[in-house]
Amino acid sequence: MYSTELTCDRAGYRAFHEPRYAFVLRVLSEIGATSATRILDIGPSHLTELVREQFGVRADTLGFGSDLQDERGRHFGVDLNAAQDRAA
Protein backbone atom coordinates (compact mmCIF):
# COMPACT_ATOMS: atom_id res chain seq x y z
CA MET A 1 0.00 0.00 0.00
CA TYR A 2 2.77 2.46 0.80
CA SER A 3 4.39 2.15 -2.62
CA THR A 4 1.02 2.69 -4.34
CA GLU A 5 0.48 5.91 -2.39
CA LEU A 6 3.99 7.00 -3.23
CA THR A 7 3.41 6.29 -6.93
CA CYS A 8 0.17 8.31 -6.86
CA ASP A 9 1.94 11.19 -5.12
CA ARG A 10 4.72 11.14 -7.72
CA ALA A 11 2.22 11.06 -10.56
CA GLY A 12 0.34 14.00 -9.04
CA TYR A 13 3.55 15.93 -8.51
CA ARG A 14 4.64 15.35 -12.10
CA ALA A 15 1.23 16.32 -13.47
CA PHE A 16 1.22 19.53 -11.40
CA HIS A 17 4.71 20.51 -12.63
CA GLU A 18 4.23 19.43 -16.26
CA PRO A 19 3.80 23.03 -17.53
CA ARG A 20 7.12 24.00 -15.88
CA TYR A 21 8.86 20.96 -17.35
CA ALA A 22 7.49 21.75 -20.82
CA PHE A 23 8.61 25.38 -20.51
CA VAL A 24 12.18 24.48 -19.50
CA LEU A 25 12.49 21.85 -22.23
CA ARG A 26 11.14 24.30 -24.83
CA VAL A 27 13.60 27.02 -23.76
CA LEU A 28 16.52 24.59 -23.87
CA SER A 29 15.46 23.54 -27.35
CA GLU A 30 15.07 27.16 -28.50
CA ILE A 31 18.57 28.09 -27.33
CA GLY A 32 19.97 25.09 -29.19
CA ALA A 33 20.83 22.67 -26.38
CA THR A 34 22.58 19.55 -27.66
CA SER A 35 24.39 16.59 -26.15
CA ALA A 36 27.45 18.87 -25.90
CA THR A 37 25.61 21.41 -23.73
CA ARG A 38 26.64 21.55 -20.07
CA ILE A 39 23.68 21.69 -17.70
CA LEU A 40 23.58 22.18 -13.93
CA ASP A 41 20.22 21.53 -12.27
CA ILE A 42 19.76 22.73 -8.71
CA GLY A 43 18.28 19.74 -6.90
CA PRO A 44 18.08 16.45 -8.81
CA SER A 45 14.51 15.82 -9.93
CA HIS A 46 12.28 14.35 -12.60
CA LEU A 47 13.11 17.42 -14.70
CA THR A 48 16.79 16.45 -14.59
CA GLU A 49 15.92 13.07 -16.09
CA LEU A 50 13.70 14.65 -18.76
CA VAL A 51 16.54 16.98 -19.80
CA ARG A 52 18.97 14.06 -19.96
CA GLU A 53 16.56 12.01 -22.07
CA GLN A 54 15.47 14.74 -24.48
CA PHE A 55 18.90 16.18 -25.19
CA GLY A 56 21.15 13.17 -24.59
CA VAL A 57 23.17 15.31 -22.22
CA ARG A 58 25.05 14.58 -19.02
CA ALA A 59 23.26 16.91 -16.61
CA ASP A 60 25.00 17.66 -13.35
CA THR A 61 23.07 18.43 -10.17
CA LEU A 62 23.72 20.34 -6.98
CA GLY A 63 21.97 19.77 -3.67
CA PHE A 64 21.77 17.64 -0.55
CA GLY A 65 23.69 14.39 -0.32
CA SER A 66 27.19 13.24 -1.08
CA ASP A 67 29.25 13.97 -4.16
CA LEU A 68 28.57 11.32 -6.81
CA GLN A 69 29.45 10.69 -10.43
CA ASP A 70 28.06 8.24 -12.97
CA GLU A 71 27.35 8.10 -16.70
CA ARG A 72 24.38 10.47 -16.30
CA GLY A 73 26.47 13.28 -14.73
CA ARG A 74 27.88 14.49 -11.44
CA HIS A 75 26.11 15.42 -8.24
CA PHE A 76 27.74 18.08 -6.10
CA GLY A 77 26.67 17.71 -2.49
CA VAL A 78 26.05 21.18 -1.08
CA ASP A 79 23.73 22.43 1.64
CA LEU A 80 22.53 25.67 0.09
CA ASN A 81 20.96 26.67 3.41
CA ALA A 82 24.48 26.93 4.84
CA ALA A 83 25.64 29.10 1.92
CA GLN A 84 24.21 32.21 3.56
CA ASP A 85 26.33 31.65 6.70
CA ARG A 86 29.69 33.37 6.21
CA ALA A 87 31.22 31.17 8.94
CA ALA A 88 30.38 27.93 7.12
Sort 85 into a burial class: Cβ within 10 Å, 0-12 / 13-18 / 19+: exposed
pTM of the model: 0.78
The DSSP annotation for 13-24 comes to: HHHHHHHHHHHH
Sort 83 into a burial class: Cβ within 10 Å, 0-12 / 13-18 / 19+: exposed
Selected residue with higher pLDDT from 9 and 23: 23
Total domains present in the chain: 1
Domain that holds residue 51: 2-84
As a whole number, the mean pLDDT across the chain is 87
C-alpha 74: how far from its chain's center?
A: 11
- pLDDT tens across 60-76, in order? 999 999 999 999 999 99
Read off the pLDDT of each residue in 40-61 and give the average, rounded to a whole number: 94
CB 46 within 8 A of CB 21: yes
- pLDDT tens across 11-30, in order? 888 899 999 999 999 999 99
Residue 8's pLDDT is: 55
Residue 82's pLDDT is: 85
